[in-house]
Every structure is written in structure tokens, then in C-alpha cells.
Amino acid sequence: MKCRHCATELENVFVDLATAPPSNAYLQQADLRASEKYYPLKVLVCDKCWLVQTEDYADASELFSEDYAYFSSFSTSWLKHSEDYVAKMVERFGLGADSMVVEVAANDGYLLQYVKGRDIPCYGVEPTASTAAAAREKGIEIVEEFFGVEQAKKLAAEGRQADLTAANNVLAHVPDINDFAGGFAALLKPNGVSTFEFPHLLNLVTHTQFDTIYHEHYSYLSLTAVSTFFEANGLSVFDVEEIPTHGGSLRVYAQRSDTKAHETSPRVGAMMAREKEEGVPTIDYYQGFQARTDKVKDDFVNFLIESKREGLKVAGYGAAAKGNTLMNYAGVHADLMPYVVDLNPNKQGKYLPGSRIPIVGEDHLKADKPDRIVILPWNLADEIVGQLDYVNAWGGRFVRAVPSLQVLGG
């Protein structure tokens, strides 16, 4: 396989998580009578541009189908993050009634609802029919397409260029990363700004966040790599911030390379220097991750087996994609975790891909009163523990498996 950005032949393996079905391909009852499609889940490192990326197996249309089940609005902390983002962008860049804000991967309108609430013109680009429909119910206009240069040029030709584009947790999801980045350069007004939020590779490596690896994530991103492929596609980074979402992310600000209307912040050079010091542009940095990943997996399986031997009831909470990576790599099924609770009604009544563990509503949790609740979306642990504080009444305890096994409060 060749690098998705620079076409260098890839030879260096970062981690190999065996095989798994797509992490958001939740199963219906009828699907349990059929086999699932599994793909190898191996991540490679380009030793020229330092883009960390999965091997090519699945087409994007298979991963982001019309019944895609991830809806952003079911996390209250994520909604607060999005509302704060809008307020900050409005203030920093003077957005108002004469501006245009575009979100790429607008999902269910979780962010643009706050732009619309300020009477700022906006629209979203979202390829999945299920989430696009939910956004439209909020009164948000959605262009239901995959984003790239062709789509961006068409929108620009229609007079729909952007003062601000937002792309939160989508940069990792695109197979043609050059076409995607080039689309923003084509859509921006001369003084326009594009922001991108994505989990930072430094945190993935430091905290062994291997469960953030799944087929829908084609890339695992550092500022080193992002700056390189942005520059090759007409964008220049002019600022960067560290934010706490998804276990530690970067918010990158970019502008058109041909205009460079915004002064470059010293934070850009500082982050590039930090990544260099940590070793991001060296192959040695990526060694040893497999062994640490295997230890997390082994500890998790041992915990489930010992809990079963002790007669403890264990449930999962949050039918998240990262949880599916953990479950499938660890080989966990309903014998060790009988069900997973999720607030999203679009997931309830379905089954996790691969492990085929049933997804139930919160009422089931309250009736069953499990002894241990494994929080699969560990980045939302504080929010979930607060929501489920009633678990303490029956002596239930919460558990995190990543970055290391931890019984919370113990």
C-alpha cells in the first residue's frame, strides 16, 4: 500500500488489531442469521510525511451508510463544547448576518443549531441520510454529499463560499485526504478560516488509546502530518489549540495559502517543536505500541473472566465505536458482557458488530442492577458517572479499561 498523501510505499507497522467489522455497522435481529463482513485492522506509518493510516480495505460508502447510527447530540458535554466553539468563533472572527458558516460532517445539526440560533447564515455538508434528516428537523439546510474539491467548487460557483468552515472529528474519516483538504481551500472566501478538530496522535500513543482505531478512521493525526498535506493542497495552518475532547485533541486553524490573511501564531511553531522533541518524525516513536495495546486487552479480558468467576454481573455503557474496537480485539461476547446500555434510540434493539452483544435502554440497567459497569466511551466517563449516580444505591461500580484497567472510586 502507498501513503494516502504522498504515495510513498508503506512498510512500517504501528499496530495490528487483527480483523473486525466496521465499528458503526450495528446489527438488526435479522442480521444475526447471516455472517458479517470483517476487514483487517492494521495501521501503518509513512516515513516520509509521517501520516499514520489504516490499510485500505473498505470503501467509504460501506462505512458511512444511509443508516449510520452515530448522532452527536446524545452527549451533553459535546453539545456544550459545540456551543462554546460557536461563541468563540463569532467573537474572534466577527461573524454576523453577512457571514456564511459551513460545517462539513454536520451530523445531526449539533453545532449548526447554535449558529442558526445567532441568525448567522449557515448550511451543512453531510453524506449520511439518517443524520442529515435529523439536522433538517432542526431547520438546518444540508447538502447530502461527500465533501471534496469538486463539491466545494460547485458550492463556490453558486456563491456559497464560507467565512468559516468547521470540520470536527472528520479529518480522520476521509480516505482521500488530499481531495478533502483541497475542498476547503476551494470553498473559503479570501479571508476565510477553516477549523479542524481531531484526536491528537501524541495522546493516542502516550495513553495507549488503541480503541480509537477503527476502519472509519483512515488517519491518526499529528500537526506534523496535517501541516504537510494542508500545504500541498492550498491551506496553511496559522493557529493551533489543545482541547480536552476525545481524550485530548487539537483544534487547527487554517487559511488559504494564496491569501494568508491571518498572522501565524507562535503556538504553531511550539507544537511542531514539541512533536519533533517527542519523536513524531522518527520511526522509533511508533515502536512498542503493540505490546502496550496487548497488555490493555489482556487486563480487560482477565477482569471480565474474574468477575464472572466471582459471580459479579457486568454490563457495558455506551455503544461507541471505540468500544467495538476493544470488544472485537479482546474477543468479548455476551457470555462475559450480556448487554450494553445506550441512550440513542437508533441503537437500542440492535447488536454490536462482531461481538453481537445486545444494545438496550437505561431502563434495563435500572432493573438488572449490575455490579460493574464498563464505560466504553471512556472520554465521557465523568459525564456518564454523573448521569448514572443512582448506581451507587445498589453498590454498583464503574470501570474503565483504557488506558489501563481502573475501577473508578476504588
Amino acid 69: pLDDT = 46
Amino acid 130: pLDDT = 87
Amino acid 65: pLDDT = 47
Strand order in the sheet with 39-45: 12-20, 39-45, 52-54, 219-220
User: Which three-class secondary structure state does DSSP give residue 235?
Assistant: strand
34's CB contacts (< 8 A; 6+ apart) are: none
Global pTM value? 0.91
What is the 8-class DSSP label of residue 394?
A: G
**Residue indicated by cell numbers 439536522:** 135
What is the 8-class DSSP label of residue 296?
A: H
E-assigned strand segments in 298-392? 314-317, 340-341, 359-360, 372-375
Amino acid 242: pLDDT = 98
Q: Cα–Cα distance between 317 and 256 in angstroms, integer?
A: 42
- Whether the upstream peptide bond of residue 403 has omega within 30° of 0, thus cis, is yes
The answer to whether 299 touches 404, Cβ cutoff 8 Å, is: yes
> Given CA atoms 128, 129, 133, 136 in this order, what sign does their dihedral have?
positive
Which tens digit of pLDDT belongs to each residue from 312-369?
999 999 999 999 999 999 999 999 999 999 999 989 999 999 999 999 999 999 999 9
Residue type, position 17, single letter: L
The residue ranges of the chain whose pLDDT is under 70 are 57-74, 409-410
Q: Max Cα separation, the chain?
A: 66
